[in-house]
Amino acid sequence: MSERFGEQALQLCSAASLLLGWRPDEFWNCTPAELAVAVTIAPAADGPDAKTIEDLLRRYPDDAGAAADDQ
């Protein structure tokens, strides 16, 4: 390895700050397992089904704001 542990740790600390909003103290006090869980991307949840979208569109039509402005 050409980089030393300290240099790699500083890069990880910087990434945790940018991506997770962690302060240095939060990074240095976490375990490797906690860091791994924090940066693991969870699978996306399924979105609403077509019926739910139709119901929402009926309840909240996109042009509702424009109709209110005309009055």
Domain borders along the chain are 1-41
How does pLDDT run across 18-66, given as a tens digit for each residue? 888 889 899 899 998 998 888 887 677 788 889 999 999 999 998 756 5
Q: What is the DSSP string of 14-68?
A: HHHHHHH---HHHHHTS-HHHHHHHHPPPPPPP---HHHHHHHHHHS-TTHHHHH
User: What band does 1 get if pLDDT is binned at 50, 70 and 90?
Assistant: low
The reported pLDDT for the residue numbered 5 is 83
